[in-house]
Chain A
């Protein structure tokens, strides 16, 4: 899902940077308001988790591969704004140091993986699981659905962004200047792979890790996106 440099026309990656700038700004404001030095490492850990989980390439039939993102898990535990920051940071390091995803496409990649994925996951989880602090069956179903649906929404957005390239940027002779495959092809390939495989992986990671973190009380969970690392058992019991 990491769009490289050269795949997107400037009239695509420009506006997507434009969309992301206010979101990054708002996220950083939000974090300044809700975090302090003590719980900032959680954000760093979440970012590192997203970075490393994306290194686990999974081969699928057809000779290609892909991976989970971890956005849904982070959104459920730390909230969507924290997820936006931590996944963006992972994507930035991937692009700058490892050439995974382009510099010009960083806005686009953040839009799909650090915005669409965590925000959809967060609201899907809240809708299904409610605000209860207990990690019971509803929470599990919510986490599983959030993982599956959110990565698929991100995949679909990626497919749309790539697939519109031959429609909006062609040379004088009508040859595509950037990514040449049509919408039909990109949607079939990218959404197909995520609906069948990577969605399941993201779903499993989301439900298993959030369940483990809740059960083991490594973190005190008080409903989605509401970890209070400072007040340990108190929130679990009171809410």
Chain B
């Protein structure tokens, strides 16, 4: 089944993902309120209030408290695996409500077309 190749592609990307750590600078406009405060001379009140609204367990794709480089790479890999795994599982659950195998409207038309062609 050729679809296996697609999964393989995703796995390869996940393994290569720590290459993304070569970029040391953060994205423009993705700073903490404090960092913004340093840049503009004051900390916007709303930013400070909302910034820690949500606690993300793997903030920044890092294991909590992982200072050294190797752990950082490990945390990044783990993050890729967890993120991809979660997404695949969620879609698996979403698929429960869908019809099993029978072609839906559009594929049905195509199947008909394919048959006529033959």
Expressed in whole angstroms, the Cα–Cα distance for A218 and B25 within the complex equals: 37
CB-nearest residue of chain B relative to A94? B83
- In the complex, which of the residues B9, B24, B54 contacts A5, with contact meaning CB atoms closer than 8 Å? B54
Interface string of A204-239 (1 = CB under 8 A from B): 000000000000111100100000111100110110
Q: Which of chain A's residues has its CB closest to B114's CB? A: A234
Could you tell me if A218 and B29 are in contact, using CB atoms closer than 8 angstroms? no
Q: In the assembled complex, which residues on chain B have CB atoms less than 8 Å from the CB atom of A51? A: 83-84, 87
A6 and B46 form a contact (CB under 8 A): yes
Contact across chains for B100 and A41 when beta carbons are under 8 A apart: no
> Complex formed: what's the CA distance from A218 to B7 in Å?
11
How does the 8 Å CB contact mask read for B102-117 relative to A, with 1 for contact and 0 for none? Answer: 1111110011011001
Interface residues on B, range: 35 or more
Q: Give the distance in Å from the alpha carbon of A49 to the alpha carbon of B5 in the complex.
A: 13
A231 to B46, Cβ gap below 8 A?
A: no
Interface size bucket, A side? 35 or more
Interchain CB contact (< 8 A) of A102 among B46, B53, B86? B53
**Nearest A residue (CB) for B105:** A33
Q: How far does the alpha carbon of A162 sit from the alpha carbon of B104 in the complex, in Å?
A: 42
Binary contact track B68-89/A, C-beta < 8 Å → 1, others 0: 0000000010011011101110
**Which single residue of chain B is at the shortest CB-CB distance from A53?**
B13
Q: How many A-B residue pairs have CB under 8 A?
A: 237
Give the CA-CA distance A237 to B116 in the complex, in Å.
12
1/0 contact trace for A40-77 toward B, CB 8 Å? 11111101110111011111101111110000000000
Closest-CB distance, A2 to chain B (whole angstroms)? 6
Bound form: Cα–Cα A90–B56 in Å: 15
Quote the shortest CB–CB distance from A221 to chain B (angstroms): 13
- How distant is the Cα of A1 from the Cα of B13 in the complex, in angstroms? 21
Query: Which A90-118 residues have a C-beta within 8 angstroms of B?
Result: 90, 93-100, 102-104
A48/B84 contact (C-beta < 8 A), A104-B50, A235-B114 known: yes
Task: Show 22 A/B contacts (Cβ-Cβ < 8 Å), sorted by A.
Answer: A5-B52, A36-B99, A36-B101, A42-B3, A47-B87, A52-B84, A55-B17, A55-B76, A57-B22, A64-B25, A66-B27, A97-B56, A103-B54, A171-B45, A180-B42, A193-B28, A216-B2, A228-B106, A228-B107, A234-B114, A234-B118, A235-B114
Given A37-B100, A41-B3: 20 more A-B contacts, CB < 8 Å: A7-B29, A35-B104, A51-B83, A52-B14, A55-B83, A56-B19, A57-B23, A65-B23, A89-B90, A97-B86, A98-B59, A98-B61, A102-B50, A169-B46, A176-B44, A178-B47, A190-B29, A216-B5, A218-B5, A222-B110
A residues sitting closer than 8 Å to B (CB atoms) are 1-7, 9, 32-38, 40-45, 47-49, 51-53, 55-60, 62-67, 89-90, 93-100, 102-104, 158, 162, 169, 171, 175-181, 186, 189-190, 193, 216-219, 222, 228-231, 234-235, 237-238
